[in-house]
Structure 1
Amino acid sequence: MNIGAVDHIEFYVGDAQHSAFYLCTAFGFRVCGQAGPETGLPGRRSLLLRQGGIEIVLTSALTFDHPVAEYVARHGDGVANIAFEVTDAAKAFAEAVERGATAVEEPVVHSQCGTEVVTASVLGFGDVAHRFVQRTGDRAAFLPGVMDIFAEDPDEGEQLLSTVDHAAICLPAGQLRPTVAFYEKVFGFSQIFEEFIEVGEQAMDSKVVQSPSGKVTFTLIEPVTDRKPGQIDDFLARHGGAGVQHLALLADDIVGAVPALEGRGVKFLETPDAYYNELEERLGSPDLKIEDLRRTNVLVDQDHWGQVFQIFTQSLHIRKTFFWEVIDRHGARTFGSGNIKALYEAVAREKATA
């Protein structure tokens, strides 16, 4: 199937303009294109946002009975499609369906002025689909003949974020192993990490799957039902089933990016001072200065290859079901043993002070 990187992420939202304003003002994205009925996209309107190698599509319905409106009514604003770069979209679609995936959109060819894009979609987990995207020609056109691209902005602004590192996905109890098996069979992913996390009376199980290219990574999480209900149970109840809990965006300099993002209005979760007092004893000397980590509330962990630095935003979602992560990898290929537990505890702190 030859899956490359994440091509783009599509969110279904109640108001694409409002969502774009926040992502541009706070995170530094730029609106680069738009599509709607006037461009041949009936019943909905989409905005294309870009920063570094990250492309985000925000789509809103124009009628109450459109599938996009039904998704938002069921789940609230959220990730609806994680698109994969492929060399042959029609072939990838056929292989995925043959291996057991549910077809969502048959292959469609979009072409204009020498640029051609072929897309096709299958269902992934919950109501989230995966779009196979095959590109020939000018990538800046994004979806030729459908997406109107604006003139290039002469002032690109500060590029703090470079690519999508991974997506964290909450699953109902009992779906973790079948979902791992599904991604292994249908998309050729491999399991690269697993962890059982206990925090007080709550617990959850997690496995990480990754594409052969190493450029698409999903952290899959399910609650443990014989323990006290916790954050994952809350997500599943408020979201209405499986979905993307957060997206992690890669930064080249996290201790520089965090203050810049905070200056634009991004609210990050705070980390107790004791975490940094115990850090050197737990992990040794980190690559970044402990005082810089303490000042920015950045967490650190490590695997066999190196260290990973991360911080999570507060959720501005009305249902508190989606937030962002900023991550900086210093050689680490996976996640340290404290990675997911740190997230779990950070979100618990936010709930305790809400």
Structure 2
Amino acid sequence: MTTYTNKGPKPDKGKFLNFDHVTFWVGNAKQAASFYCTRMGFEPFAYRGLETGSRKVVSHAVKQGDIIFVFQSALTPHNREMGDHLVIHGDGVKDVAFSVEDCGALVERAKERKARVVKDVWEESDENGTVKFAVVATYGDTTHLFVERSKYKGIFLPGYKPSVGHDPLLSILPQTNLKFIDHVVGNQPDDSMENVADWYEKNLMFHRFWSIDDSMIHTEYSSLRSIVVTNYEETIKMPINEPAPGKRKSQIQEYVEYYGGAGVQHIALNTSNIIETVSNLRDRGMQFLVIPDSYYDNLKERLKNSPIKVEEDMDTLQKLKILIDFDDKGYLLQIFTKPAQDRPTLFLEVIQRHNHQGFGAGNFKSLFEAIELDQDARGNLVTRDVKLVED
């Protein structure tokens, strides 16, 4: 495991501020938004569709804390771009948007460095002001939308109206209190991780923050490699994963084959009270990976020799199946949902940090073993030469 301290040169123009929102392309945006509201504790936030003048695409935005997810579907029968995307990838993340300062400067620098600009800088306005946008392509069919909204005072973006209607179910369900997007993880085919990390370094002037290789992260059957890249201010963390050789198909390879290439594997959502959050998510019916009790027996032994003390009750963490990773300075708590759609692709993570900026390296083996149980149930824990998805 490697932690990097060299941020590289500070960009002289343009600035990445934070995650702005995440856009999903799905078969039924209305129903997908409802799932994330009832199961994950989001609230209806903003809407753009036929009633607001959007004739081709409908968008349902939901919000929790500073987290905004936007679910989009085609409204007309012959939207080949969205239709083809769904056939190949299924429901999943199309775009990870960044809030930025000086969108124009960021795009010009990206163009100079030969990044593929999907859509050059444009503006949209309504009665609340003007927002500048641009779109660049990253791994697979995934994109990054740049959002410069310093001259905008609306609730979200031009063209959106506040969501209307009241779901009485949401008012009686327990609050989950998720705060912000901690990181967004992208899975890559084998031998693609380095090129993707290099792309962020070259085109966006991100730098390497953390990495780990398959000598540390492996089980009896599978392993992974990972590099985390981040912006200069280290407010946007983007881990990049790839599978490494093993006896069986890793969950990274399973993702790539069912998603049809590289894409967003999971989104980590930060909370300040993971016990309360996960308890309430479970009460809402959210399903999580199952961690064996032997993990906690081993953990308790390792903590005996550690200078850090876990504040949370260990029996409660074990009951909720929350994982703990730690070093000599602090610890983090994390848990992973099962896939949020039928394909074994996108899932979610809930994370709480106590002076620890890692990504759960000490838990990867246990996480992989838990995922492998589900892979086996799906018939996908097979040798590497077996194709999981038929053409």
Task: Provide the TM-score with structure 2 as the length reference.
Answer: 0.85
Q: What is the CA–CA distance in structure 1 between the aligned matches of 2:133 and 2:329, rounded to whole Å?
A: 36
SS at match of 1:100: coil
Report Cα offsets for 1:236-278 as digits up to 9, x if no partner: 1110000111111111100111110111110111211111111
CA contact 2:124–2:130 (8 Å) conserved in 1: yes
CA contact 2:295–2:366 (8 Å) conserved in 1: no
More deviation, 6-15/203-212: 203-212
CA contact 1:16–1:59 (8 Å) conserved in 2: yes
Q: What is the CA–CA distance in structure 2 between the aligned matches of 1:251 and 1:330, rounded to whole Å?
A: 11
What is the root-mean-square deviation of aligned Cα atoms in Å? 2.2
Among 263, 268, 273, the residue aligned to 1:243? 263
What does residue 72 of structure 2 align with? Answer: 59
CA contact 1:194–1:208 (8 Å) conserved in 2: yes
SS at match of 1:281: helix
SS at match of 1:25: helix
Alpha carbons of structure 1 residues 112 and 332: separation in structure 2 relative to 1, 3 Å: same
What pairs with 1:245-324 in structure 2 (closer than 5 Å)? 245-283=265-303, 284=306, 285-303=309-327, 305-324=329-348
Measured after TM superposition, the shift of residue 189 of structure 1 is 1.3
Alpha carbons of structure 1 residues 303 and 113: separation in structure 2 relative to 1, 3 Å: farther
What does residue 357 of structure 2 align with? Answer: 333
CA contact 2:40–2:176 (8 Å) conserved in 1: no
SS at match of 1:32: strand
Measured after TM superposition, the shift of residue 339 of structure 1 is 3.6
What does residue 161 of structure 1 align with? Answer: 178
Among 24, 32, 39, the residue aligned to 2:37? 24
Task: Provide the TM-score with structure 1 as the length reference.
Answer: 0.93
What pairs with 1:1-354 in structure 2 (closer than 5 Å)? 1-62=14-75, 63-137=77-151, 140-144=154-158, 146-150=159-163, 158=175, 160-196=177-213, 197-225=217-245, 227-283=247-303, 284=306, 285-303=309-327, 305-353=329-377
SS at match of 1:345: helix
Q: What is the CA–CA distance in structure 2 between the aligned matches of 1:125 and 1:16, rounded to whole Å?
A: 24
Report Cα offsets for 1:70-121 as digits up to 9, x if no partner: 2111100000100011011222122212222111122121222342211110
The percent identity for this pair of structures is 33
Equivalenced residue count is 353
Q: What is the CA–CA distance in structure 2 between the aligned matches of 1:302 and 1:345, rounded to whole Å?
A: 19
1:351 maps to a residue whose letter is Q
Alpha carbons of structure 1 residues 221 and 304: separation in structure 2 relative to 1, 3 Å: farther
Q: Which runs of 5+ in 1 are unaligned?
A: none
CA contact 1:13–1:72 (8 Å) conserved in 2: yes
SS at match of 2:281: helix
More deviation, 182-191/103-112: 103-112
1:80 maps to a residue whose letter is K
Q: Which runs of 5+ in 2 are unaligned?
A: 1-13, 379-391
Q: What is the CA–CA distance in structure 2 between the aligned matches of 1:115 and 1:244, rounded to whole Å?
A: 32
Measured after TM superposition, the shift of residue 227 of structure 1 is 4.9
Q: What is the CA–CA distance in structure 2 between the aligned matches of 1:279 and 1:217, rounded to whole Å?
A: 27
Measured after TM superposition, the shift of residue 150 of structure 1 is 3.5
Measured after TM superposition, the shift of residue 290 of structure 1 is 1.1
2:182 maps to a residue whose letter is D
Q: What is the CA–CA distance in structure 1 between the aligned matches of 2:84 and 2:245, rounded to whole Å?
A: 29
After the TM superposition, list the runs of 4 or more consecutive aligned residues in structure 1 that deviate by more than 4 angstroms.
137-140
CA contact 1:43–1:66 (8 Å) conserved in 2: no
SS at match of 2:302: helix
Q: What is the CA–CA distance in structure 2 between the aligned matches of 1:233 and 1:75, rounded to whole Å?
A: 14
Q: What is the CA–CA distance in structure 1 between the aligned matches of 2:200 and 2:34, rounded to whole Å?
A: 34
CA contact 1:190–1:212 (8 Å) conserved in 2: yes
CA contact 2:176–2:280 (8 Å) conserved in 1: no
Q: What is the CA–CA distance in structure 2 between the aligned matches of 1:116 and 1:159, rounded to whole Å?
A: 33
Q: What is the CA–CA distance in structure 1 between the aligned matches of 2:53 and 2:329, rounded to whole Å?
A: 48
